[in-house]
Amino acid sequence: MKAFLLIFATLVNVFYIANTLVGFGVKISNMWNVGLGVFLILSVIFSGYLIINKGTHKRSLSLLSVFVFFISIGSLGWYAFLNYLFLIMG
């Protein structure tokens, strides 16, 4: 179950980064934008929790946890930067 959640978080993060950088034409409404921000925060917390409890699972799961942690931090930073720009620009 942990591996599935980490893989799902990876896919959502990669989709968000690809959508903002390439621009697939997928428009995200305000509710989806808020939900995505909450999901990014939860994925950072969940992967950080798995990194801290690294003795209870396999090595591949801990590597995936580290990957999800850093990609979630990057996605969250990009999310915050874009929303800050949209707030300033109107």
- Count of Cβ atoms closer than 10 Å to residue 50 Cβ: 21
Handedness of CA 69, 74, 75, 79 (dihedral sign): positive
At 48, which amino acid appears? G
Render each residue's pLDDT in the chain as its tens digit; 90 residues: 888 999 999 999 998 888 878 876 666 677 887 888 899 999 999 999 988 887 766 777 888 999 999 999 998 888 888 778 777 776
